Amino acid sequence: MTKDRARKQDIRARMAASGEPYTVAARHLIGPGAVEPPIAAKVAACASATAGEPVARMGIRVGIGLPWVETAETPPEDRRGGVQGLARRLLGALVHEGTHIAGEGFAELAARRYMIDGGGLGGFVCREGIVEQGRHGWPLGRPRGESDQVIVMNWLWPLWALTGTVTARVVGMETVRGVSCQRLIAEADLTRALEAGRNGWPSSFGPGTEVPATAALAVWIDDQHVRRVRFTQSSAGEVSPESADRADRVSTVDVELWDFGTSVARLDWSRFP
């Protein structure tokens, strides 16, 4: 019997005894000093190496799901016909700008900050764990009333989470901006990730008001870096690589990183891009 098969049997035995999901049971079987699956260790190492890079280009895409509209991203099986379908598509076109965010910019990853030009939505800047959104050219740190505060996800969150990867499986090979990458599904232990980033990461870097215990993400890696991360978030705050229940999906997030080592000498961190 191979070690891998024996380990799977141990995991299933724990699942039967404890009622835990597979990934949770697998994580508990990785005890102190135990050797983790090599691919999980590789994902965690790539995430740590990427988080320590001085500079990279960074891109984000965010889609907010609404159950009563249809967009180009709506799966064919979820689309409606007739007058109702037409109304849903027209409504989707009207609210598209408010439910879809896309932008590119720069990140100083080791300094935990980035600046993204979001086009018509203005700019997004993260400094010292705080994310702000503002109009192009506005100075950062403007005094605001409480009603003017904009809550935006910290898009470095998935990269930090992956430093706590405990299980991972390869699902294919894909090219990301000209670089051949392994595509994987990774399960991250966020407690472990927080411990790995105790030298300055925000204590609550979860995607919602409550930090989940685990997160499953789709991740693309080369031999050294994380190149892309994708995940969906449910209304309950659960994070998964694909939403099992599309009606419960709140948002889908893509983060890409490329051109490591590019110059940001001309970047003005005092204003929104």
157-200 pLDDT per residue, tens: 888 889 999 999 999 999 999 999 999 999 998 878 877 766 55
pLDDT at 177: 94
CB-based contact 225:51 (threshold 8 Å): no
CB-based contact 99:91 (threshold 8 Å): no
CB-based contact 176:182 (threshold 8 Å): no
pLDDT at 252 over 70: yes
Could you read off the pLDDT of 91-106 as tens digits, one per residue? 444 444 556 788 999 9
Say how far apart CA 15 and CA 24 lie, in whole Å. Answer: 9
**117 within a domain of the structure (yes/no):** yes
**273 within a domain of the structure (yes/no):** no
The answer to which of 72-76, 145-149, 254-258 has the lowest mean pLDDT is 145-149
Quick one: what percent of the chain has pLDDT higher than 70? 59
Domain range for 103: 3-27+36-258
CB-based contact 89:67 (threshold 8 Å): no
**182 within a domain of the structure (yes/no):** yes
Could you read off the pLDDT of 5-62 as tens digits, one per residue? 666 666 776 666 666 666 666 666 555 444 445 899 999 999 999 999 999 999 998 8
pLDDT at 260: 96
pLDDT at 92: 47
Three-state secondary-structure class, residue 244: coil
**268 within a domain of the structure (yes/no):** no
**264 within a domain of the structure (yes/no):** no
Could you read off the pLDDT of 233-244 as tens digits, one per residue? 776 667 778 654
Average pLDDT estimate for 116-126: 87
CATH of the domain at 125: 2.50.20
**265 within a domain of the structure (yes/no):** no
Backbone region of residue 106 per phi and psi (left: phi > 0; alpha: psi in -120 to 50; beta: other values): beta
**223 within a domain of the structure (yes/no):** yes
Size of the chain, expressed as the number of residues it contains? 273
Token code pair at residue 58: 């960074």
pLDDT at 145: 45
DSSP state of 219: E
Nearest to 190 by CA among 142, 137, 231, 150: 231
**272 within a domain of the structure (yes/no):** no
The count of domains in the chain is: 1
pLDDT at 133: 84
